[in-house]
Amino acid sequence: MPKGAKNIIVKMEKVNKWFDDFQALCDVDLTIFEGERIVVCGPSGSGKSTLIRCLNGLEAHQSGDISVHGTELRGDAQSVRQVRDNVGMVFQQFNLFPHLTVLENCTLAPINNGKMDAQAAYDKAMTYLKRVQIPEQADKLPGQLSGGQQQRVAIARALCMEPKLMLFDEPTSALDPEMIKEVLDTMVSLAEDGMSMICVTHELNFAKRVAHRIIFMDKGRIVEDQPPADFFKKPKSPRAKLFLEQILSH
Amino acid sequence: MGEFFIEIFGKPHGIILFQLVAACRFTIYLSLIAFLGGGAIASLITLMRIAPSRHLQRIATAYIWIFQSIPLLMLLFLIGLGVPGLLDINVNPWTAATIALVLFTSAYLAEVWRGAIESVARGQWEASFALNIRYSSLLRKVILPQAIKFGIAPTIGFMVQIIKGTSLAYIIGFSDLMLVGKRWANAPVLGSEPFVIFPLMAVMYFCICYPLAIFARKLEARSIAKNA
């Protein structure tokens, strides 16, 4: 936990989520403080993505309580909107709007939400594009950019909404190896600025470097929740041990 | 105008040709009305079909299902002859043909457009939701601009189907190319035999439809090239 943090930004209590017969989340309890950086890992199908997608209402949970930055997600449109106002998300496939320029990708939501006027949105977008080090690409279409650049635009786009919490859903999994670093570097610099982050990733070096806690999931349950040093040295569960052996052996 | 045709083609071919060309007007008018009216209703049905409300979705699905399962000819009979007979009123062929074709067109276009909208990657919706973009703007600024490229070629292609579909309206007395042509083919006039008139009509339908077909193919090729 970062020093002096006491405000809770995410609280999940006994959260359950089913896709038809398949239970994706199973009695998940999780508390995250402001400024904390969490890395979520685990085998595929363990519920990692579902966990963070529940946090901004992209998936609805069926039982239990979730509150984000003081707003409880009750499944109604208003609470979902309120939560999304405070939460930015970065997707595996970038999901940039292909018909809009990089700049328009960044300004669409802030202008549309009435958060700011066009000039302010433009200034903000340019600030964050500089931040992710691609201001010179502002007038290009996403398709003209490399994967790494597109993902950095996606990060800038999310930051333009001034989120209190950033969710990353396997942000480097769709990238060519030589582009992973530029995206991770951007995330590290974001982390250094004190952004609260939850990141689903298999980049364990990144996890070691920036995470306060590593959450290991299996079959919809949180099996481990430890600081990286402990998690890598002495995982408690056999499932996490096996996972680490497999992932570190290659 | 009529004299001009007679001057060139003589009698009776000049007269026949002129009447057929004149009748093409109504084929085109009816097609346009069907397309515009059907398109307007189709937009509404499409919006309902993709709306978050399950009730609206069901109504829209039922609408599409009903009017897509009834053959156009049956719709024309029902609206042009069935309903007027039942209620003992007179419905003129224009009105009946318009209603039948608008219903037919709207159901078909709604289905085409729904498909186009669903071709837009799911991630585009999710990114918009995550960014809290309002639903109306999400459709206008994110989804529709991308859906149009999937929908435009089948839409134009369907216009060809509408134009050919209007030919069925002759059955309820709608005076289009088909009716006028058929009347001539049945007339005991030398030089207006079916084997002269029907190929002539086919050529006329071809002349109206072919440019559209080409246009649709061009648009399709362009959108494929863009996506490659």
B132 touches chain A (CB under 8 A): yes
The type of residue at A217 is M
Among A122, A119, A127, A183, smallest CA distance to A151 is for: A183
Rounded to an integer, the average pLDDT of B24-31 is 87
Under 8 Å between Cβ of B115 and B49: no
Q: Please, what's the largest Cα pairwise distance for chain B?
A: 73
Taking phi over 0 as left and psi of -120 to 50 as alpha, with beta for the rest, B133 belongs to beta
Rounded to an integer, the average pLDDT of B183-206 is 80
Which positions in chain B touch A158 (Cβ < 8 Å)?
130-131
3-state SS record for chain B: CHHHHHHHHCCCHHHHHHHHHHHHHHHHHHHHHHHHHHHHHHHHHHHHHCCCCHHHHHHHHHHHHHHHHCCHHHHHHHHHHHHHHHHCCCCCHHHHHHHHHHHHHHHHHHHHHHHHHHHCCHHHHHHHHHCCCCHHHHHHHHHHHHHHHHHHHHHHHHHHHHHHHHHHHHHHCCCCHHHHHHHHHHCCCCCCCHHHHHHHHHHHHHHHHHHHHHHHHHHHHHHHHHHC
pLDDT band (50, 70, 90) for residue B1: low
Using CB atoms within 10 Å of the CB of residue A100, give its burial: 0 to 12 exposed, 13 to 18 middle, 19+ buried. Answer: middle
The type of residue at A146 is S
Residue of A nearest to B128 (CA): A109
Does residue B227 register a pLDDT over 60? Answer: no
Best B131, B133, B146 member to test A by mutation, with max A CBs in 10 Å, is: B131
Binary contact (A95, B146; C-beta < 8 A): no
Chain B closest CA to A53's CA: distance in Å? Answer: 9
The type of residue at B219 is L
Q: Which helix (H) or strand (E) holds B54?
A: helix B54-69
Q: What is the pLDDT of residues A181-192, one digit of tens each?
A: 999 999 999 998
Beta carbon pairs, A and B, within 8 Å? 54
Mean pLDDT (chain B, rounded)? 86
B226 vs B114: which has the higher pLDDT: B114
pLDDT band (50, 70, 90) for residue A2: low
Q: What is the pLDDT of residues B110-154, one digit of tens each?
A: 999 999 999 999 999 999 999 999 999 999 999 999 998 888 888
Under 8 Å between Cβ of A157 and A76: no
**Domain ranges across chain A:** 8-248
Taking phi over 0 as left and psi of -120 to 50 as alpha, with beta for the rest, A185 belongs to alpha
Q: What is the pLDDT of residues B142-184, one digit of tens each?
A: 999 999 888 888 898 898 889 888 888 888 877 777 777 777 7
The type of residue at A219 is K
Binary contact (A95, B121; C-beta < 8 A): yes
Give residue B17's pLDDT.
80
pTM of the predicted model as reported, rounded to 2 decimal places = 0.84
Q: Where are the beta strands (DSSP E) in chain B?
A: none
Binary contact (B126, A95; C-beta < 8 A): yes
Binary contact (B126, A109; C-beta < 8 A): no
Which positions in chain A touch B127 (Cβ < 8 Å)?
89, 91, 95-97
Among B179, B172, B165, smallest CA distance to B20 is for: B179
**How far, rounded to the nearest angstrom, does the alpha carbon of residue A154 sit from its chain's CA centroid?**
12
Give residue B228's pLDDT.
46
Give CA–CA dist A48/A226, Å, rounded.
16
Give CA–CA dist B118/B150, Å, rounded.
10
Q: What is the pLDDT of residues B81-98, one digit of tens each?
A: 888 788 888 888 888 889
What ranges in chain A are assigned the alpha helix state H? 48-55, 77-86, 102-112, 118-131, 147-159, 177-192, 204-210, 228-233, 238-248
Under 8 Å between Cβ of A46 and A64: no
A71 touches chain B (CB under 8 A): no
Q: Where are the beta strands (DSSP E) in B146-193?
A: none
Binary contact (A112, B129; C-beta < 8 A): no
DSSP A144: G
Using CB atoms within 10 Å of the CB of residue A59, give its burial: 0 to 12 exposed, 13 to 18 middle, 19+ buried. Answer: middle
Domains of chain B: 2-227 (1.10.3720.10)
Residue of B nearest to A53 (CA): B130
Does residue A3 register a pLDDT over 70? Answer: no
Chain A closest CA to B137's CA: distance in Å? Answer: 7
Which positions in chain A touch B129 (Cβ < 8 Å)?
57-58, 84
Under 8 Å between Cβ of A164 and A9: yes
Q: What is the pLDDT of residues A59-108, one digit of tens each?
A: 999 999 999 998 999 888 899 999 999 999 999 999 999 999 999 999 99
Q: Could you tell me the two tokens for B91?
A: 């419905």
Of B130, B141, B146, the CB nearest to A58: B130
Residues sharing a CB contact under 8 Å with residue A72, sequence separation 6 or more, in sequence order: A65, A66, A79
pLDDT band (50, 70, 90) for residue B219: confident
Binary contact (B129, A85; C-beta < 8 A): no
A55 touches chain B (CB under 8 A): no
Which positions in chain A touch B137 (Cβ < 8 Å)?
108, 112
Of B126, B137, B145, the CB nearest to A58: B126
Chain A closest CA to B16's CA: distance in Å? Answer: 52
Q: Please, what's the largest Cα pairwise distance for chain A?
A: 55
What is the edge-to-edge ordering of all strands in the sheet holding A63-68? A22-33, A8-19, A63-68, A71-72
Give CA–CA dist B204/B208, Å, rounded.
6
Q: Which of residues 180-199 of A touch B (CB under 8 A)?
A: none
The type of residue at B123 is G
Residue of A nearest to B141 (CA): A108
Whole-angstrom Cα Rg for chain A: 18
Does the domain formed by A8-248 have CATH 3.40.50.300?
A: yes
Q: Could you tell me the two tokens for B2?
A: 């009529």
Chain B closest CA to A120's CA: distance in Å? Answer: 17
